[in-house]
Structure formats: C-alpha cells, structure tokens
Chain A
C-alpha cells in the first residue's frame, strides 16, 4: 500500500513553460485535493475532486487545471508557468469529505521553481 504518491519530487521550469504534476493514490479514496504551500504560509487549496469526472475550484485555482479520469489519478496541469507559481505542491486524498473518515492523507510533495 503506497498511499499517495507524487512525481516529480523536484522541477525547475522556465517562465511560460507548461508541466503536469502527477498524483496517484491506491486507497480507493473518492476525494482528492491539490494544495500549494508557500514559505511561512499554510496550505492553500487549488482544486479538489469528489470522484472520477468531477472537479471543483478551491481557494487559488488561477493558472492551474485538473482532470480526474480515474479514481486513482488526479494530475495538476500548469499552463504558462509564472514565478508566482514557485511553491511546494501537495496532493492529498480522503475517503469522505464530511463523514467520519475525512482525514486527509498527503503525498510527499513536489518542489517547483519557476525562473
């Protein structure tokens, strides 16, 4: 049971480039989330998904896109990377949203630098 996995661990992008951050979970969780963590700040929710084919915006969705074609995978797409997107990105999943098993399990993170 690998839990939540993220690739890559590190990436440096040039301004204007695009990339996809991969996230997968093997716990059969319906709910998945993408957060960014800036230095000295808490996590900000970018997007979340309540199941395959269903996604919704979080607090800071601008500049990002997501898709959820399977229960296991929840990739995050950055189009036209900007320095403001330099951050550590965490993917998380949970069994439920408001029910008793709603604690989130986090991946190890992707450290992205945009120069």
Chain B
C-alpha cells in the first residue's frame, strides 16, 4: 500500500539552530514529493517540491529539502530556525496514478 511516514509527532528546536523534519515514503514509480505548512485554523500552504533533477530543492521562507531515492526519504531542513516557523508541517507524495498521499504531520516548536 502507498504510504507516507513522518516519524516524529513533534520537533523542538531553539531559535537560530538548524532544524530537520523527517519524511519517508513508500510509493511506487517516480513520485513527486511536496512539503506543506499549516498554521492554526488555516489551510495548507505550499513550501517546496521535488519532481526531478537536483536532489536538494529550495523553497519558501528559507526551507530546503533533500531527496534521497535509495532511502525513499525527503527530509525538510532549515539552517537557522525562527520562532515564526512554529507550525504543523506535512509531507505529501503524488504517485503516478493521480493520487496524493499525506503524512500525519509534524508539529514544529521553535523556542526563543
């Protein structure tokens, strides 16, 4: 079965420190990979995506993500976290059959 896993329910980092939010997937074919962010009582906002090419993709607000095909992972990273980055982050995968699969979300808590 197709699935997306975000192994950490919550990630806590201090402001200014680097952050990583993990995502692994089990989807056949050549999936497209996405990261979205959700602020309280809002819809999801697109951050970045990987389709093909360079394994390191850069997105909005200084976020980047690294695609690793052999480990089927697509971890979200940022070199220096801000308090305003605190939100819920979702990894999503688009398979080759027009379906989208979302992870369960990781709550990022950046402390001052």
Contacts and interface: CB of A to CB of B under 8 A. Distances in A.
A105 to B, nearest CB: 7
Contacts of A59: 99, 101
Interface stretch (A13-21, A36-44, A62-70, A74-82): A36-44
Interface string B82-112: 0000000010101010111111110000000
Interface in B1-59: 4, 6, 9, 32, 34, 36, 41-46, 49, 51
B103 A42 contact: yes
B104 A40 contact: yes
Contacts of B102: 35, 42-44
A40 B92 CA distance: 15
Contacts of B36: 106
A45 B90 CA distance: 14
Contacts of B46: 103-105
A45 B95 CA distance: 13
Contact of B34 (A41, A42, A90, A103): A103
A33 to B, nearest CB: 7
Given A97-B98, A100-B51, A103-B49, A108 B43 contact: yes
Interface of A: 4, 33, 35, 40-45, 48, 50, 56, 58-59, 90, 92, 97-98, 100, 102-109
21 contacts: A33-B100, A40-B9, A40-B104, A40-B105, A41-B105, A42-B90, A43-B44, A43-B100, A48-B98, A58-B99, A59-B99, A92-B44, A97-B98, A102-B94, A103-B49, A104-B46, A106-B36, A106-B43, A106-B44, A106-B45, A108-B41
Given A48-B98, A90-B44, A92-B43, 20 more contacts: A35-B102, A40-B9, A41-B104, A42-B102, A42-B104, A43-B102, A45-B99, A50-B98, A56-B98, A58-B99, A97-B94, A98-B32, A98-B94, A102-B49, A102-B94, A104-B46, A106-B36, A106-B45, A109-B42, A109-B43
